[in-house]
Amino acid sequence: MKDNENTLRRLKSIEGHVRGIERMIDEDTYCIDVIRQIQAVQAALDKVSTIILDNHLNSCLITAVRGDDPEDRERVLKEISEVFAASAKI
């Protein structure tokens, strides 16, 4: 539960930053300053993604690996592989 609260708090902060970027664009703020704020949001989203992945590895993955269903194990491992493959394409 604590991890969810932390993740939600981070997402609310990111939401505020995105609104700030919208204002910056609306106010015709210097492009480099806008780009720096976008990079900060991207870094914050990367951190949230890392937190969620860590939680997944320490809960869903462990449950599947320790379970009796080999198809479930394969599915969870495939999902993780697909997530990393998709992030490499970005």
Residue-level pLDDT at 87: 81
Q: Indicate which CATH number applies to the domain containing 49.
A: 1.20.58.1000
- Number of domains observed in the structure of the chain: 1
Residue 28's SS3 state is: coil
**How many angstroms separate the CA atoms of 82 and 76, rounded?**
10
Q: How far is CA 73 from CA 41, 55, 67, 81, 85, in A?
A: 34, 17, 8, 12, 18
pLDDT per residue over 31-79, tens digit each?
999 999 999 999 999 999 999 999 999 998 999 989 999 999 999 999 9
Q: Range of 36's domain?
A: 2-89
Take residue 86 and report the two structure tokens written for it: 């998709």
Residue-level pLDDT at 1: 55
**How many angstroms separate the CA atoms of 26 and 30, rounded?**
11
Look up the pTM and report it: 0.82
pLDDT per residue over 10-28, tens digit each?
999 999 999 999 999 999 9
